Amino acid sequence: MLQVKDITFSYNKTPVLKDISFSVKPGEHLSIIGESGSGKSTLLKVLYGEYDTEKGNIFWKDEEILGPKHNLVIGYDFMKYVAQEFDLMPYISVEENIGKFLSRFYPEEKQKRVAELIEVVELTNVAKTKVKLLSGGQKQRVALARALAKQPEIILLDEPFSHIDNFKKQSLRRSVFKYLKENNIACIVATHDKEDVLGHADKMIVLNNHNIAVNDTPENLYKNPKTGLIASSLGNLM
Ligand code: ADP
Ligand code: MG
């Protein structure tokens, strides 16, 4: 279980996140919504250990996630993070990018694993293409597959389908979220898109005023929005 206990974080003086607490179980899908600038991306980076918090702590199971002050190499094997900007190797193929961090000792398994992931992100037709020739949406899918390659226990996704055209989005979303559920991989998804939430998320958090305005199931929030803010963000969202 991911346990976020009372974290506060600021870039400068004013906190972007203040006294944030929540938890995510193995295999659970949590959506984070909130206006642009409400701190969704910052929260994911803090969870990943990219920044030091001022207060509070974060645990995955028994392991504390520490920021750069206390952890030489950012990140942990059990957790992967796919940022809004992805950093791929442009001059090698889709397959090679996805397999980049998989062991070369078991070439057959490696090949099987890469093929499986290419199917999950629906890139079979460009498997051998160099990444620099791909569209933004295709690159986003390579980044996603690469993050899944080593079977993390939890994955953090920042607007994961934002570069993907509507035509493709729906089937891709279904394929990826199904893969995560089947493999019991927890996910936290920062998003603007109601379709990422409805029918997929187990729970959702609304960020407002540096804090969690509400934490509930999408169904409950939809049926019973408690405040004007939530109603208005759900208005956009649902
Ligand atoms: P969201 O992802 O919800 O749009 P962000 O987490 O990107 O929100 O930003 C939250 C707030 O933190 C914004 O006010 C933004 O301007 C500020 N911010 C984001 N990144 C930085 C940074 N690297 N340095 C200083 N301020 C930042
Ligand atoms: Mg963001």
Tokens, residue 149: 């390659």
Residues 234 and 160 in one domain: yes
Strands 2-9 and 55-60, by their bridges, are antiparallel
Where does the pLDDT of residue 101 fall: very low under 50, low under 70, confident under 90, or very high at 90 and above? Answer: confident
Residues 107 and 61 in one domain: no
Where does the pLDDT of residue 105 fall: very low under 50, low under 70, confident under 90, or very high at 90 and above? Answer: confident
pLDDT digit string (tens) for 154-169?
999 999 999 898 888 9
Tokens, residue 78: 């059990």
Tokens, residue 40: 């969704």
Residues 224 and 187 in one domain: yes
Answer yes or no: is the C-beta of 191 below 6 A from any ligand 1 atom: no
CA-nearest residue for atom 13, ligand 1, is: 37
Q: Judge whether residue 67 has pLDDT over 60.
A: yes
Residues 162 and 224 in one domain: yes
pLDDT in the model for residue 104? 81
Residues 184 and 195 in one domain: yes
Residues 173 and 190 in one domain: yes
Residues 74 and 106 in one domain: no
Atom of ligand 1 nearest to the CA of 158: 2
Q: Give the side-chain half-sphere CA count within 13 A for 171.
A: 8
Number of residues written out for the chain: 238
Answer yes or no: is the C-beta of 31 below 6 A from any ligand 1 atom: no
CA distance 111 to 117: 10
Candidates 47, 51, 78; CA nearest to 67 is: 51
Residues 61 and 111 in one domain: no
**Residue that finishes a domain, picked among 122, 151, 180:** 151
Sheet architecture: strand order including 203-208: 79-82, 154-158, 186-190, 29-33, 203-208, 211-216
How distant is the alpha carbon of residue 69 from its chain centre?
23
Candidates 121, 127, 139, 124; CA nearest to 179 is: 121
pTM above 0.85, yes or no: yes
At 222, which CATH number? 3.40.50.300
Residues 158 and 236 in one domain: yes
- DSSP H or E segment with residue 2: strand 2-9
Containing structural domain, residue 110: 79-151
Residues 29 and 108 in one domain: no
CA distance 227 to 164: 32
**Residue that finishes a domain, picked among 132, 151, 170:** 151
Answer yes or no: is the C-beta of 34 below 6 A from any ligand 1 atom: yes
- Total domain count, the chain: 2
Residues 18 and 43 in one domain: yes
Residues 192 and 204 in one domain: yes
